[in-house]
Structure 1
Amino acid sequence: MFALSTILTLASATFAIASPDLVDRRSFHIKDGANHTVFEHAATGATLSFVPNSGICETTPGVNQYSGYISVGKNMSMWFWFFEARNSPSTAPLAMWLNGGPGCSSMIGLFQENGPCTFNHVSGSTPVLNPHSWNNFANMLYVDQPIGTGFSFGTDDATSTVTAAPFVWKLLQAFYAHFPTYENRKFGLFTESYGGHYGPEFAFYFESQNAAIDKGKVSGVKIPLVALGINNGWFDSILQYKAYIDYSLTNPYRPLIKSSQATSLLMTYNRYCLPELNTCSSSGTDAACKNADDTCFGTIAGPIQTDSDFDVYDLRASSQDPFPPKTYVSYLQDPTIQSKIGAQQVFQECPDPPYYKFVNTGDISRSFISTLSTVIQSGIQVLIWAGDADWICNIAGVQAAISRLQFAQSAEFNSKPLVPYTVGGAHGGVFKTAGNLSFLNVFRAGHEVPAYQPDLSLQAFVQTLSQQPLSST
């Protein structure tokens, strides 16, 4: 908005297939009427336990899906839900989707944004197929991380963006081991919100691990990262706390504050917030960075929210009438649905414990602009986009952040004007591109861009994962 052991113990029928090399092991179990596959990966010590083809969410004939857990450490069960592409799954690329928070479930993206099913425009307790699902083009992997988020459970050792990255890498290693057909597919990482931290750091870590594998320093499968997409990301607190003031006054929909309030808030920002953020940047200590965020929220973001009745994820709406609807939460908390998909934990959309572990290390205040610059310099295709009605990670802050990126074409990028972005001739936003970086301002969209502009979002996703700059159609 930011029990694998249980499966084995309670299984009513169990049999195993011995691996001929006696390294990796597979077994099959039945629990609550659902078939579970268990794969023990010797190289990483990880265990996968999942339900194939549950019939939940993706009901397109012939499209396979797998939902369950991958152990990424001792007593650390990370939830994943994987959907094969609806078209040409044997050759389609692989993409991972991560929601932000920190500590928010990626089931948000699956059910509210770009997954195979949705409640967005229907009533009732059952989702319908999403014709604009991103698995129209790619094999899609949704992951609840860090541990404690969504359906994931166990010991949570991730206390920052940097410490979270290795666990996601290990998940992918185990995933590739059981689904080796995807090892050499083009891979894209797509995320939003706190993904302004996750995206740069996770991409950087994947590429660093690839280099270490090449040098023989790390044993593992290289992740063929070709694309990174981040919508409405939180990249840099210095720039984005100030942007709360600018955007609240000059956004394209309605002013949330008066010009006199903006002047007063700017003085407060310069007097209290900015010095604390500079101290965080210079000292790097957890205490300084946590204090900076506490100060800035208390003096800038908090007062703006208090003085106005609006949904921070879509300022056009009241805080009492949010879109997209939360119907999916009660759906996933239904014990029958949980049994069918292999979930061993009651679903929690954005629980407090993972969030506060990041807060207490001051992670929110740490800038990832330099890391993102390094990732862009590596040559992968990067899309930074934002819905223009989002307040929490607003377009003004995103634009301020990308203007500080350093790469070969950064001067060209910053000097370029924004031009219309069309989908089948329909004007959906404005964009610019230089080198391997594209920026897209999406009109009439809140925080969860694909929920508001599904046609445009699918087109932008396909172009980016195809390693192409954005272009109108």
Structure 2
Amino acid sequence: MRPQSLHIIGSLFTVVLAGFPSAPDDLIKINAGDSSISYKQTTICETKARGFAGYVHLPASALGEIQPLEQYNVSMFFWYFEARQHPENAKTAIYLAGGPGQSSLYGATSGGGPCTVLPNSNGTKYNPHAWNEHVNVLYVDQPVGAGFSYDKLVNSTQDLLAEQDSIIAIEDYDSEPVPAESTTFLYGTFSSQNLSRAAPTTAVAARTLWHFAQVWFSSFPEYKTQDKSISIWGNSYGAYYAPVSAEHFARQNKKIQSGMLKGTVLDIDAVGWTNGCTDMLYQAEWFPDMAYNNTYGLEAISRDTFNAAKSDYSKPGGCRDLMLKCRELGDLNDPNELSIDPTVNAVCAQATIYCATAVIQPYVYSGRSRYDIAHFQPDPSPSQHHIGFFNRAWVQRELGVPLNFTANSNNVFSAFYANGDPFRTAGMKSIEYLLSIGVKVAMIYGDRDYTCPWNGGEQLSLQANWTGAEIFRGAGYASIRTTSCDSGGVVRQHGSLSFSRVFDAGHDAAAYQPQLVHQIFDRVMRDQDVASGTQDTSGSDGSRYATAGPSSVFGWKNVLPEPPGVDCNLYAVSSSCTMEQYAALQNGTAVLNDFRVVSPA
């Protein structure tokens, strides 16, 4: 049933129903061989440095080897912010959000971005802890379909009350009448929802990103820094993307340097992530521990449920065995991870479903948020204010985009999970390769997150095999010191590898502890020790540096805070609204202020 009416405060109706965006006519266009760049300078979000938003347009002919099923053009959106201080000599970081299918513009407007979005989704606030203080930061919407990236523009409808398949092309209604617009049922322009045009794996996404980077770093005229080193950072599923992409870039560099491949060398300096899932062979086992035996004294599941989940991971034919079978079969029949073998896809999907259901899912029945164990469902964190902001017509004009904003692409998500990518992708191999060639690897984890828990991240760092592994494992934990506090987190570090546990932080650690996480990011980028920022970790000095302190991080205990109240957002109904609020939106009795339901509260 579609809502007949809603009580609306302010100008919600006119802005939500902005409809089909007009084509921008104020873009600068650059040809780059068969590809091209279109962009404009932006004046929103960042007030202390230059910003540029635009697209790299890649033709299908450039992507044939990674599009075996259907070839299609790709238009990848970027938002580039120069460093606030000395951009002409600053390093450059690529930022990739998670999902899979989440827009990286969440990162641009959260704890590490130049700004945060106001609760009314109609303005921004300056962020003094932005990652682009000393580093040029390039936010990229990928895989295609996330954010403002697209394969082709399709006029569609969007049902804000639907959890799946919320975007439907108008042409797909066939003989059925297209429902009328309402506050929760919108008309707009989106990327196609063709599943065969969605990147099916992390490996394909990484190779597409490399093609994007080849064009952007060689042809974007506003990229002017003298320091050509590049790092790749991410959050959540971005911790699959970041190391796998960095490894691919590095291997392509070797081919270019040897004359086997024509292209631009993209020097990889560092890779890092916050609360990331990177390799479930090392991380999945630790989800039950986070639910039952954490540093907050919370037992979100029973002892029996904990034991069952641990057994379901390790028993013969359990999660671990299914994962190994998936990877072994994939290496044999689909070594390039193109998702071209139906048997591999089915086996890896089976592993993903079993592991998620038996090992990870039991915690969800506690009613607590997977993004923060201190919160309950529905959870106001991470904030969803940015979705309404990027769906404002005036914001879309400022960015020069021809389509509406997709905060989280169901199409991309479905493609990845249908092929079992979360449990097939062996991110540890990428980590070990990067460490072997001297690339810095920084793992940062908020300790209240369940989506990608810190204890699994710690195991990822401890089980990596590289030349410094023995010294790293023997290093102790040291407090991370900043100008405002000495106890915001702890770190184990040796040489190029660091693992940081950030206290009192959920899934987006930078949003909870922006100053601390910014300091960690800055120190990694500057080749300084994470604990104090006073010791050089590059060269021979870095190879000798190691933190000192307790061998176990579990000794630092915390107390859960009171959970926050509900903040029901029209663009995130399924995750932020109560059943009563959902029903009110559905039957037309909800009272809204901008994009937020204020009654029922």
TM-score, length basis structure 1: 0.88
Q: Which residue of 2 aligns with 1:70?
A: 56
**Which protein has the bigger strand share?**
1
Pair 1:467 & 2:527 matched: yes
Pair 1:287 & 2:346 matched: yes
* Bigger Rg, structure 1 or 2: 2
Q: Which residue of 2 aligns with 1:267?
A: 311
Pair 1:50 & 2:91 matched: no
Pair 1:113 & 2:111 matched: yes
Pair 1:303 & 2:344 matched: no
Pair 1:36 & 2:78 matched: no
Equivalent of 2:430, from 371, 385, 388?
A: 371
Is the contact between residue 80 and residue 143 of structure 1 (CA under 8 Å) also seen in structure 2? yes
Q: SS where residue 307 of structure 2 aligns?
A: helix
Is the contact between residue 77 and residue 154 of structure 1 (CA under 8 Å) also seen in structure 2? yes
Residues in 2 aligned to 1:439 and 1:263: alpha-carbon distance in whole angstroms: 28
The 5 Å alignment of 1:229-248 reads 229-248=272-291
Q: Which residue of 1 aligns with 2:566?
A: none
How many pairs align? Answer: 436
Q: Which residue of 1 aligns with 2:490?
A: 430
Pair 1:315 & 2:373 matched: yes
Is the contact between residue 28 and residue 40 of structure 2 (CA under 8 Å) also seen in structure 1? yes
1:469 shift after superposition: 3.3
Residues in 1 aligned to 2:287 and 2:31: alpha-carbon distance in whole angstroms: 48
Q: Which residue of 2 aligns with 1:26?
A: none
The Cα offsets for residues 312-340 of structure 1, whole Å up to 9 and x where unpaired, read as: 11111122232242111001001121012
Counterparts in 2 of 1:143 and 1:230: CA distance versus 1, 3 Å: same
Residue identity opposite 1:403 in structure 2: L
Counterparts in 2 of 1:449 and 1:73: CA distance versus 1, 3 Å: farther
The 5 Å alignment of 1:397-436 reads 397-424=456-483, 425-436=485-496
Q: Which moved more, 1:83-92 or 1:166-175?
A: 166-175
Q: Which residue of 2 aligns with 1:19?
A: none
Residue identity opposite 1:264 in structure 2: A
Q: Which moved more, 1:283-292 or 1:333-342?
A: 283-292
Equivalent of 1:340, from 389, 394, 398?
A: 398
Q: Which residue of 1 aligns with 2:448?
A: 389
Overall identity of the aligned pairs, in %: 29
Q: SS where residue 490 of structure 2 aligns?
A: strand
Is the contact between residue 149 and residue 354 of structure 1 (CA under 8 Å) also seen in structure 2? yes
Pair 1:165 & 2:223 matched: no
Residues in 1 aligned to 2:459 and 2:116: alpha-carbon distance in whole angstroms: 33
The Cα offsets for residues 397-432 of structure 1, whole Å up to 9 and x where unpaired, read as: 111222220110101111222121121243111111
1:97 shift after superposition: 0.5
Is the contact between residue 311 and residue 322 of structure 1 (CA under 8 Å) also seen in structure 2? no
Q: SS where residue 313 of structure 1 aligns?
A: coil
Equivalent of 1:215, from 244, 248, 258?
A: 258
Equivalent of 2:323, from 277, 286, 304?
A: 277
Residues in 1 aligned to 2:532 and 2:504: alpha-carbon distance in whole angstroms: 18
Counterparts in 2 of 1:167 and 1:281: CA distance versus 1, 3 Å: closer
Q: SS where residue 356 of structure 1 aligns?
A: helix
Q: SS where residue 385 of structure 1 aligns?
A: strand
Q: Which residue of 1 aligns with 2:189?
A: none
Q: Which residues of structure 1 form unaligned runs of 5+?
A: 1-9, 12-29
Residues in 2 aligned to 1:341 and 1:383: alpha-carbon distance in whole angstroms: 31
Q: SS where residue 129 of structure 2 aligns?
A: coil
Residue identity opposite 1:40 in structure 2: N
Q: SS where residue 517 of structure 2 aligns?
A: helix
Q: Which residue of 2 aligns with 1:153?
A: 150
Residues in 1 aligned to 2:227 and 2:128: alpha-carbon distance in whole angstroms: 27
Q: SS where residue 380 of structure 2 aligns?
A: coil
Q: Which residue of 2 aligns with 1:136?
A: 133
1:220 shift after superposition: 1.7
1:205 shift after superposition: 0.8
Is the contact between residue 274 and residue 509 of structure 2 (CA under 8 Å) also seen in structure 1? yes
1:181 shift after superposition: 2.4
Residues in 2 aligned to 1:124 and 1:266: alpha-carbon distance in whole angstroms: 43
Equivalent of 1:191, from 222, 234, 238?
A: 234
Residues in 2 aligned to 1:303 and 1:369: alpha-carbon distance in whole angstroms: 26
Q: Which residue of 2 aligns with 1:104?
A: 102
Residue identity opposite 1:178 in structure 2: F
1:183 shift after superposition: 7.0
Q: Which residue of 1 aligns with 2:570?
A: none
Q: Which residues of structure 2 form unaligned runs of 5+?
A: 1-21, 61-72, 153-196, 331-343, 534-601
Q: Which residue of 2 aligns with 1:23?
A: none
Residues in 2 aligned to 1:118 and 1:468: alpha-carbon distance in whole angstroms: 27
Residue identity opposite 1:87 in structure 2: Q
The Cα offsets for residues 259-284 of structure 1, whole Å up to 9 and x where unpaired, read as: 22211222233343233122113222
1:124 shift after superposition: 6.1
The Cα offsets for residues 49-69 of structure 1, whole Å up to 9 and x where unpaired, read as: 1121x3111123xx2111111
Pair 1:174 & 2:215 matched: yes
The Cα offsets for residues 324-370 of structure 1, whole Å up to 9 and x where unpaired, read as: 42111001001121012111221111111111222222211122112
Q: Which residue of 1 aligns with 2:179?
A: none
The Cα offsets for residues 254-306 of structure 1, whole Å up to 9 and x where unpaired, read as: 2211222211222233343233122113222222111100111122222321x
1:184 shift after superposition: 4.5
Is the contact between residue 198 and residue 412 of structure 2 (CA under 8 Å) also seen in structure 1? no
Is the contact between residue 436 and residue 469 of structure 1 (CA under 8 Å) also seen in structure 2? no
Q: Which residue of 2 aligns with 1:227?
A: 270
Is the contact between residue 381 and residue 468 of structure 1 (CA under 8 Å) also seen in structure 2? no
1:238 shift after superposition: 2.9
Pair 1:127 & 2:171 matched: no
Residue identity opposite 2:237 in structure 1: Y
Equivalent of 1:59, from 47, 50, 56?
A: 47
Q: Which moved more, 1:417-426 or 1:264-273?
A: 264-273
